[in-house]
Chains A and B, each alone.
Chain A
Amino acid sequence: MSDRAGASAPSAFLLEIDGILHRMGHWLPTQGPIKDFIHHNTLHAFQERPFHEGVAAGARVHGARMAMPPSFYLHAYRHGRITEPALTRALEAAFPDQGARDSARTRLLQGEVTYPEFAGLAAGGLRQAWDEPLGGVPLHRRSHLYLFRLIGGYLDQGLSIWRMPGADRLGLWECIQGLIRESSLPVLPFDSPAARALVELPAREALLKALERVVGREDLYESYLLQTFLTTPGWSGMVSECERNPSQLMSRRSVSLLDLATVIMVAELGCLERELGSDFPPLAASRPQAVAGFNPQQRPVRSEDEVLLSVWQESFEWSYCEPLLGALQVNAERAPARSAAPIWAFFCIDDRSCSVRRHIEELTHEVGTFGTAGFFGLDFMYRGSGDSIAGKHCPAPMTPGHLILEELAEQDAARQPPVRWWQRLLHLEEHSNTFFRGWFLSYALGFGAALRLATSVLKPSLRPAAVAPLSTVNAGARFRLIRQNDERTAEGLLLGFTPDELADRIASVLRSCGTDRDWPELVVLFGHGASSVNNPYFAAYNCGACSGRTGAPNARAFAKAANRADVRAALRARGLVIPEGIWFVGCVLDTTRDEVTWYDLQRVPEALRARLDRFREMMDVALANNAAERCRRFETVPLGIEPARALESVRQRAVSLFEPRPEYNHATNAACVVGRRSLTRGLFLDRRAFLNSYDPTRDPDGQLLGQVLSAAVPVCAGINLEYFFSRIDPRVYGANTKLPHNINGLLGVCNGVESDLLTGLPTQMTEIHDPMRLLVIVEQTPEVALEAARSNSHVFELVVNEWVRYACVHPTTRQISMYFGGRWQELDGLRPPTWTWASSLEAARQGRGNLPVGFISRAASSSGERAT
Chain B
Amino acid sequence: MITIVLWVSVGLPMAAALAIASVPISNERWVSRIVQASTAASALASLAAITLWLLAGEANFATSPRDLFAHGAYRFTFELTLDAVAAVFLMLVQFITGMVVRFSRFYMHREPGFRRFFATVLLFQGGMCMLTLAGNLQVMFAAWEIVGVASFLLIAFYRERQSAVRNALRTYSVYRTADVGMLLAACLEASGGSREIGFLLLLAAVGKSAQFPFCFWVPRAMEGPTPSSALFYGGLSVHAGAYLLLRTFDVWRDVIAVRWSVGAVGLVTAVLCSMFSRVQPTIKGQLGYASVTQVGIIFVEIALGLEVLGLTHLVANALFRSYQLLVSPSAVAYVLRRHATAGAPSTSEARSFYARHLSHSARSTLYAFALNEGYLKDLVKAVMWVPLRKLGRAALPHGRSIVILGACAAIATWTLLPRVSERGGLALGSLLLVVALACSSCALSAWRRPVQAFGWVWGSSVASALAAFAVVPSHAGFASESDALFVGLSAALAVVGTALVVPRGEQIRRFAGFAETHSLAAACALLGALGIAGFPLLPTFVGEDLLLHATLPVSRTFSFFLAGMLALNGYLAVRTFALTFFGRRAVVTHDQRTGHLVLESDGASGGAVALRVEARLAEDH
Given known contacts A72-B614, A427-B327, is B594 in contact with A446 (CB within 8 Å)?
no
A752–B324 touching, CB < 8 Å:
no
Give Cα distance in the complex from A72 to B610, angstroms.
Answer: 6
Given known contacts A432-B320, A657-B327, is B334 in contact with A72 (CB within 8 Å)?
no
A35–B364 touching, CB < 8 Å:
no
Nearest chain B CB to A418 CB, angstrom units = 11
A137–B510 touching, CB < 8 Å:
yes
Closest 3 CB pairs of A and B: A446-B316, A71-B607, A115-B603
Interface stretch among B160-168, B203-211, B425-433, B460-468?
B160-168
User: In the complex, what residues of B have CB within 8 A of residue A656's CB?
Assistant: 106
What sequence of 0s and 1s flags, for each residue 151-175 of chain B, a beta carbon within 8 Å of any chain A beta carbon? 0000001100111100100000000
Nearest chain B CB to A112 CB, angstrom units = 11
Give Cα distance in the complex from A161 to B283, angstroms.
Answer: 11
Q: What does DSSP make chain B's interface, helix, strand, loop or mixed? A: helix
Given known contacts A433-B290, A743-B328, A752-B163, is B278 in contact with A160 (CB within 8 Å)?
yes
A117–B324 touching, CB < 8 Å:
no
Nearest chain A CB to B309 CB, angstrom units = 9
User: In the complex, what residues of A have CB within 8 A of residue B345's CB?
Assistant: 157-158, 250-251
A71–B289 touching, CB < 8 Å:
no
B328–A428 touching, CB < 8 Å:
yes
A446–B339 touching, CB < 8 Å:
no
B329–A535 touching, CB < 8 Å:
yes
User: In the complex, what residues of B have CB within 8 A of residue A76's CB?
Assistant: 614
What sequence of 0s and 1s flags, for each residue 49-93 of chain A, a beta carbon within 8 Å of any chain B beta carbon? 000000000001000000011111001100100000000000000
B323–A452 touching, CB < 8 Å:
yes
Report the nearest A residue to B320, measured CB to CB. Answer: A446
B317–A744 touching, CB < 8 Å:
no
Give Cα distance in the complex from A165 to B158, angstroms.
Answer: 36
User: In the complex, what residues of A have CB within 8 A of residue B617's CB?
Assistant: 768, 847-849
A251–B346 touching, CB < 8 Å:
yes
B109–A636 touching, CB < 8 Å:
yes
Given known contacts A158-B345, A446-B315, is B332 in contact with A538 (CB within 8 Å)?
yes
What sequence of 0s and 1s flags, for each residue 211-240 of chain B, a beta carbon within 8 Å of any chain A beta carbon? 000000001101111110100000000000
A188–B333 touching, CB < 8 Å:
no
Q: Is A469 an interface residue (CB 8 A)?
A: yes
Report the nearest B residue to A71, measured CB to CB. Answer: B607
User: In the complex, what residues of A have CB within 8 A of residue B105's CB?
Assistant: 658
Given known contacts A115-B606, A636-B106, is B332 in contact with A35 (CB within 8 Å)?
yes
Report the nearest A residue to B595, measured CB to CB. Answer: A294
Partner of A453, one of B99, B220, B334, B598: B99
Report the nearest B residue to A430, measured CB to CB. Answer: B348
Q: Is A742 an interface residue (CB 8 A)?
A: yes
A438–B587 touching, CB < 8 Å:
no
User: In the complex, what residues of B have CB within 8 A of residue A187's CB?
Assistant: 368, 371-372
B510–A185 touching, CB < 8 Å:
no
Within 8 A of A (CB), among B571-614: 587, 591, 593-600, 602-604, 606-608, 610-611, 613-614
Given known contacts A116-B596, A117-B602, A745-B281, is B317 in contact with A72 (CB within 8 Å)?
no
B610–A449 touching, CB < 8 Å:
no
Interface stretch among B14-22, B79-87, B269-277, B534-542?
B269-277
Nearest chain A CB to B283 CB, angstrom units = 4
Q: Is B474 an interface residue (CB 8 A)?
A: no
Partner of A742, one of B312, B323, B328, B355: B328
Nearest chain A CB to B31 CB, angstrom units = 14
Interface residues of A (CB under 8 A from B): 34-35, 60, 68-72, 75-76, 79, 114-119, 124, 136-137, 141, 149-150, 152-153, 155-166, 168, 178-188, 250-251, 293-294, 301-303, 386-389, 419, 424, 426-428, 430-435, 438-439, 441-443, 445-447, 449-450, 452-454, 457-458, 464-465, 467-470, 533-536, 538, 635-636, 639, 656-661, 737-746, 750-755, 764, 767-768, 846-849
B332–A743 touching, CB < 8 Å:
yes
Give Cα distance in the complex from A136 to B604, angstroms.
Answer: 27
Given known contacts A117-B596, A162-B370, A442-B294, is B331 in contact with A458 (CB within 8 Å)?
no
User: In the complex, what residues of B have CB within 8 A of residue A768's CB?
Assistant: 617
Nearest chain A CB to B617 CB, angstrom units = 4
A159–B282 touching, CB < 8 Å:
yes
Partner of B597, one of A119, A449, A534: A119
Q: Is B71 an interface residue (CB 8 A)?
A: no
Report the nearest A residue to B350, measured CB to CB. Answer: A163
Give Cα distance in the complex from A658 to B352, angstroms.
Answer: 35
Given known contacts A433-B289, A446-B316, A742-B328, is B99 in contact with A179 (CB within 8 Å)?
no
Point out which of A150, A180, A751 has the most chain B C-beta atoms below 10 A from its C-beta: A751
B603–A69 touching, CB < 8 Å:
yes
Point out which of B328, B375, B615 has the most chain A C-beta atoms below 10 A from its C-beta: B328
Give Cα distance in the complex from A388 to B345, angstroms.
Answer: 10
A158–B279 touching, CB < 8 Å:
no
Q: Is B475 an interface residue (CB 8 A)?
A: no
Give Cα distance in the complex from A152 to B281, angstroms.
Answer: 6
Partner of B161, one of A60, A118, A751: A751
Report the nearest B residue to A34, measured CB to CB. Answer: B332
A435–B109 touching, CB < 8 Å:
no
User: In the complex, what residues of B have CB within 8 A of residue A740's CB?
Assistant: 157-158, 164, 222-226, 229
User: In the complex, what residues of B have CB within 8 A of residue A739's CB?
Assistant: 107-108, 111, 225-226
Give Cα distance in the complex from A116 to B599, angstroms.
Answer: 8
Nearest chain A CB to B32 CB, angstrom units = 10
Partner of B324, one of A419, A449, A536, A755: A449
Report the nearest A residue to B223, measured CB to CB. Answer: A752
Return 6 A-B CB contacts under 8 Å, by A number.
A158-B335, A387-B341, A428-B331, A443-B316, A445-B316, A746-B332
Give Cα distance in the complex from A161 to B289, angstroms.
Answer: 13
Nearest chain B CB to A416 CB, angstrom units = 11
B510–A136 touching, CB < 8 Å:
yes
Q: Is B369 an interface residue (CB 8 A)?
A: yes
Q: Is B78 an interface residue (CB 8 A)?
A: no
A165–B367 touching, CB < 8 Å:
yes
A427–B323 touching, CB < 8 Å:
yes
B220–A754 touching, CB < 8 Å:
yes
User: In the complex, what residues of A have CB within 8 A of residue B109's CB?
Assistant: 635-636, 660-661
Nearest chain B CB to A309 CB, angstrom units = 11
Nearest chain A CB to B551 CB, angstrom units = 36
Q: Is B313 an interface residue (CB 8 A)?
A: yes
User: In the complex, what residues of A have CB within 8 A of residue B334's CB?
Assistant: 426, 428, 465, 467
Give Cα distance in the complex from A538 to B18, angstroms.
Answer: 39
Q: Is B284 an interface residue (CB 8 A)?
A: yes
- Kindly list 7 other residue pairs between chains A and B, CB separation below 8 angstroms, not including A182-B363, A754-B167: A152-B282, A160-B278, A160-B281, A446-B315, A453-B99, A458-B102, A752-B164
Give Cα distance in the complex from A114 to B226, angstroms.
Answer: 36
Give Cα distance in the complex from A99 to B297, angstroms.
Answer: 78
Give Cα distance in the complex from A744 to B370, angstroms.
Answer: 17
B331–A72 touching, CB < 8 Å:
no
B99–A752 touching, CB < 8 Å:
no
Partner of B319, one of A449, A458, A744: A449
Give Cα distance in the complex from A435 to B271, angstroms.
Answer: 7
Q: Is B250 an interface residue (CB 8 A)?
A: no
Give Cα distance in the complex from A439 to B343, angstroms.
Answer: 27
User: In the complex, what residues of B have CB within 8 A of residue A180's CB?
Assistant: 368
User: In the complex, what residues of A have CB within 8 A of residue B365's CB?
Assistant: 182-185
User: In the complex, what residues of B have CB within 8 A of residue A458's CB?
Assistant: 102
A69–B610 touching, CB < 8 Å:
yes
Give Cα distance in the complex from A428 to B321, angstroms.
Answer: 10
Point out which of B280, B322, B365 has the most chain A C-beta atoms below 10 A from its C-beta: B280
A755–B163 touching, CB < 8 Å:
yes
User: In the complex, what residues of B have CB within 8 A of residue A186's CB?
Assistant: 368, 372
User: In the complex, what residues of A have CB within 8 A of residue B320's CB?
Assistant: 427, 432, 441-442, 445-446, 449
Nearest chain B CB to A675 CB, angstrom units = 30
Give Cα distance in the complex from A388 to B340, angstroms.
Answer: 5
Q: Is B286 an interface residue (CB 8 A)?
A: yes
Q: Is B336 an interface residue (CB 8 A)?
A: yes
User: In the complex, what residues of B have CB within 8 A of residue A386's CB?
Assistant: 340-341
